[in-house]
Structure 1
Amino acid sequence: MDDLQTQLFTKLQQKETDMINIRRHFHEHPELSFHETETAKYIADFYEGKDCTIQTNVGGGNGILVDIHGGKKGPVLAIRADFDALPIQEDTGLPFSSKTNGVMHACGHDGHTAYMMILADSLIELKDQLAGTIRVIHQPAEEVPPGGAKGMIEAGCLDGVDHVLGIHVMSMMPLGDVLYHPGSVHTGRATFKVVMHGKGGHGSTPQDANDTIVAASQFVTAVQTIVSRRIDPFDTATVTIGSFDGKGSANVIKDSVTLEGDVRIMKEETRAIVEKEFKQILDGICRTFGISYELDYANDYPVCVNDPKTTEMVAKALNEAQIPEVKQLIECGPQTPSEDFAYYAKERPSCFFFVGAHKEGTPMYPHHHPKFYIDEDCLLIAAKSMGAAVLYYLSEGV
């Protein structure tokens, strides 16, 4: 395997400029979730004529599957990269900044897709030496529920697949670090929208009105007691009110207010507790203030759980690979964002791990920020890391 890995790493090194150029193309031309038609076409065109099988429009959308059949029989490993962007106005000043107003690759999915395309291209060139099949999952719509993973799974993207691997580049983690965690690695999520309906009135006669702003304010405060008083202190949960729409005139009591937000949990059993308490508090406050409400409470992405044995395999593969660009291999603990990779992990033993993308001495911005930036050296690290895991898996298994 050492010789095969050397061949793969050499190919990736030689194609690093192509990897960067592809990433920059996607960055300049971002597309929102479920609307990534040109991105999907670019990806499909890249594989045209190569020695692989391609399926497009997977899941009734923009998903793409690429199967690389090795020269020998073996297991089937799926490797996944997402390719949607976000509704954010870019403010990086990069020469390859988004050319689409109000849309930006602010999470690194352009980098995921670029490294995966070049890795797949290199594996295709080495396919006769591989024992097994690699299924490349190019997934749309990670950012918006129900997420692209769910539809692709329903369309059969995991049929015949034994294990699944994925990587996320991380703008807040140091360049050169590769990080992993067995068990629950990403939170599960729910989103909500509450519209409170009261009775409007004049500010000088509040006794004739039922004030939704006061009721909503009480709710914003009270709902935080779910985490502080209903969740085990050793558990993880957050309840965030991200939008409070109560704008009006200074002397007018609003007849309706809209609140929106989300919930994050690290155990699926915690999900039910938060939802029950949330609805109980909302109902009680609205009864107290004599107002009504409409609630849309949607549970979406599950907790993402890395299979311990698969994660151990990835860590062993990376440790043995001795990738020159990797400074540290770190067990990083669970991460608070949510990821629809969780749907793959529910269906097959999986590992979702991380590649640092922040270069020391440069500004650091979080994901989903208008100034979000990844150092492009992380792309080669991601390609080599996933490549090392793929070769180890096909050779040694889990």
Structure 2
Amino acid sequence: MFDYAAYAVALRRELHQYPEIGFDLPRTLSLVRRELEVMGIPYTEEYGRSGIVATINEGKPFTIGIRADMDALPLTEATGLPYASKIDGQMHACGHDIHTAQLLAVGRKLNDMRDSLRCCVKLIFTPAEEYITPGAKLMVEDGLMDSVDCAIACHVDALKPAGHITLLSGGINANSMGIVTEFFGKSCHAHSQEKGVDAIRMAVQAYMGMELMLAREIPARAAAVLNVGSFHGGETNNIVCDYAKMFLTTRTHSDELTAFMERRIREICEGTAKMCGGEAKVTVTKLLPYVINHPVMAAKLRRSAAAVVGETHLHEGVRGMGGEDFAFLSRVKPCAMFYLGAGITTPVHSTTFCPDERAFETGIATFIRFVLDNQDGIDFEEESV
């Protein structure tokens, strides 16, 4: 009998050694194409940039999509693993190598049983989940979901052991907004500072204004984050700085609060700059909505997951503040995402992130079970399942 989990482990270790970033995924895409061609599964690259969609049992009346992201992060790996990254400054530190290898294993198993399968399955491989321009967004804009009735996905979870699954209904994470604020002043020698307009002063005062907005203008019970992760300004100590830049991220649990924070950040930065005699420019570089787990999809997925791991290893999730571009799929068709326990290890996005590969058995089995349980279609208007 073919060992699908061992197959996934081998693919994952190959992917892990050659992590690629954003849309620039030549080696990763080559591996996905290679495996799909060996399986004889037809695929297309017509959606977005650097994405692949493979189809099993095309023409069936009901289509389930299963999605995996493929890209890595700009980190230097420090795990010491024998299959550690061979590319300096690039690492699979968010588990996307696991997602990709797992989906190929799921595809292989479903393809092996396609003659008895009563639905169509789309294997959706997306690029640039970590990138400024989310890969899934471009694929959805090109019509990815037009031929899909529903979709499921998972993300590795470094807070639960392998063999455990976490799932919740409704919004499961946060809106994520990336913002760049620029401040334009006038340089002069520091000994005659009155002749200049200090861009650093503008940026610092705007930062304090945004912190005050977060503390005093947002309801205390609301989930909201504002973080300035990068600040640049000036060249030397005796020149009044004429240009400063800050890179921000915001996280919220509502579209209304995201819109409010964007408006207030603009008002604070532009108003502060004007007060100081300068100018400001605010640019939204990335806007990622939160993932919506459709209630019927979440209930169906919970039932399938419970059949795989048992009720004691199935956990009710708590909504987090992370971002995830599976959100773009979930805003078009009914979707659900679960968190796959991958060992209690260092956090994702760390240089020592090292998930437990035994998670593959659980992940593969859960995806397969969901497809088999729902291959005859889903009534998305059900009030209870």
TM-score range normalised by the length of the shorter chain: over 0.9
Query: In 2 relative to 1, CA 78–104 (structure 1 residues): closer, same or farther, beyond 3 Å?
Result: same
Match of 2:25 in 1: 36
Match of 1:7 in 2: none
Amino acid at match of 2:281: E
State the distance in 1 between where 2:63 and 2:209 align: 50
State the distance in 2 between where 1:173 and 1:244 align: 35
Match of 2:371 in 1: 390
Match of 1:67 in 2: 55
1:129-160 Cα shifts (integer Å, max 9, x gaps)? 21111111011111113211122223332222
Give the match's secondary structure for 2:362: helix
Q: CA deviation at 1:54?
A: 1.6
Aligned CA RMSD, in angstroms, stands at 2.0
Q: CA deviation at 1:85?
A: 0.9
Q: 1:16 aligns with which of 2, 5, 21?
A: 5
Amino acid at match of 1:31: E
Q: Please show how residues 56-95 of structure 1 align to structure 2 within 5 Å.
A: 57-69=45-57, 73-95=60-82
2:282 pairs with 1:284: no
1:283-342 Cα shifts (integer Å, max 9, x gaps)? 1211121111222223521121111111011011111x1437x95111112121111100
Match of 2:197 in 1: 210
Q: 1:100 aligns with which of 87, 104, 110?
A: 87
Match of 1:312 in 2: 299
Give the match's secondary structure for 2:158: strand
Query: In 2 relative to 1, CA 322–296 (structure 1 residues): closer, same or farther, beyond 3 Å?
Result: closer
Match of 1:323 in 2: 309
Q: CA deviation at 1:113?
A: 0.5
Q: 2:124 aligns with which of 123, 137, 140?
A: 137
Query: In 2 relative to 1, CA 49–18 (structure 1 residues): closer, same or farther, beyond 3 Å?
Result: closer
Q: CA deviation at 1:225?
A: 2.5
State the distance in 1 between where 2:308 and 2:377 align: 17
Match of 1:265 in 2: 252
2:91 pairs with 1:110: no
> Do the aligned partners of 2:132 and 2:286 also contact (CA within 8 Å) in 1?
no
Match of 1:353 in 2: 338
Structure 1 or 2: larger strand share?
A: 1
Query: In 2 relative to 1, CA 109–276 (structure 1 residues): closer, same or farther, beyond 3 Å?
Result: same
State the distance in 2 between where 1:247 and 1:257 align: 7
Q: CA deviation at 1:211?
A: 1.9
2:7 pairs with 1:26: no
2:163 pairs with 1:173: no
> Do the aligned partners of 2:233 and 2:243 also contact (CA within 8 Å) in 1?
yes
Give the match's secondary structure for 1:335: coil
Unpaired segments of 5 or more residues in structure 1? 1-9
1:347-389 Cα shifts (integer Å, max 9, x gaps)? 1000011011124xxxx32222222221111122211122222
Match of 2:382 in 1: none
Between 306-315 and 248-257, report the one with greater CA deviation. 248-257
Match of 1:238 in 2: 225
Unpaired segments of 5 or more residues in structure 2? 380-385
Match of 2:39 in 1: 50
Aligned length: 379
State the distance in 2 between where 1:95 and 1:311 align: 38
> Do the aligned partners of 1:145 and 1:301 also contact (CA within 8 Å) in 2?
no
Q: 1:368 aligns with which of 323, 335, 349?
A: 349
Give the match's secondary structure for 1:150: helix
> Do the aligned partners of 2:99 and 2:155 also contact (CA within 8 Å) in 1?
yes
Q: 2:140 aligns with which of 150, 153, 159?
A: 153
Match of 1:126 in 2: 113
Between 307-316 and 250-259, report the one with greater CA deviation. 250-259
> Do the aligned partners of 1:52 and 1:69 also contact (CA within 8 Å) in 2?
no
State the distance in 1 between where 2:8 and 2:114 align: 20
Amino acid at match of 1:156: G
1:28-56 Cα shifts (integer Å, max 9, x gaps)? 0111111012211110110114343221x
State the distance in 1 between where 2:96 and 2:308 align: 26
> Do the aligned partners of 2:269 and 2:282 also contact (CA within 8 Å) in 1?
no
State the distance in 2 between where 1:290 and 1:144 align: 35
> Do the aligned partners of 2:62 and 2:376 also contact (CA within 8 Å) in 1?
no
Amino acid at match of 1:278: I
Between 337-346 and 85-94, report the one with greater CA deviation. 85-94
Between 104-113 and 296-305, report the one with greater CA deviation. 296-305
Give the match's secondary structure for 1:201: coil
State the distance in 2 between where 1:78 and 1:161 align: 6
State the distance in 1 between where 2:342 and 2:106 align: 18
